[in-house]
A = this chain, B = another copy of it.
């Protein structure tokens, strides 16, 4: 398998995002995406269940990384800091493709159905993080509060990171957002 073929998934992702940005999500078809990526529709469906999933295929990897980091963290840190550290440990996934993250966020903000899906994925991530915390012995409601607040820190830190053109890292923005949240409480 040549390199061109091997990276069909990456090209499909890029093509989809360009089209969503230019035409809007509703106005873009799977056929349009496949054509721009130079592959067939059949190839598209080998990688993605539907056009919405192009923007969300990283979420299970993120969830796995966060859950594993919480499980590995033991009980050395307070639960909220544990969740934020777990998300920060996954930040290289995003750092590698900041421009993609930026365009993706803009596409999601422009379409209600994408926003609903994004919120559901984040809520699912919070539920999984709460379960991982409970498995380390954190009781309820502390586990749910820490998990959901950790995802809030992720959302706010992420938003500031993609808006920051001075080169600040995602990990630093997460750290700052956590410090701000602590100062509020």
Contacts and interface: CB of A to CB of B under 8 A. Distances in A.
Interface in A146-185: 146, 148-149, 152-153, 155-156, 159-160, 177, 180-185
Given A144-B156, A148-B152, A149-B152, A184 B80 contact: yes
A184 B149 contact: yes
A142 B119 CA distance: 21
A145 interface: yes
A165 B159 CA distance: 40
B79 A184 contact: yes
A106 interface: no
A132 B154 CA distance: 22
The copy count of this chain in the complex is 2
Contacts of A159: 144
Secondary structure class of chain A's binding surface, majority of residues: helix
Given A78-B184, A123-B119, A184-B80, A153 B145 contact: yes
A117 interface: yes
Contacts of A115: 120, 123
B145 A180 contact: yes
A157 to B, nearest CB: 8
Contact of A146 (B119, B144, B184): B184
A116 interface: yes
Nearest 4 pairs between A and B by C-beta? A116-B116, A119-B119, A185-B185, A148-B152
9 contacts: A78-B184, A80-B184, A112-B120, A141-B156, A141-B177, A142-B183, A145-B153, A148-B152, A182-B185
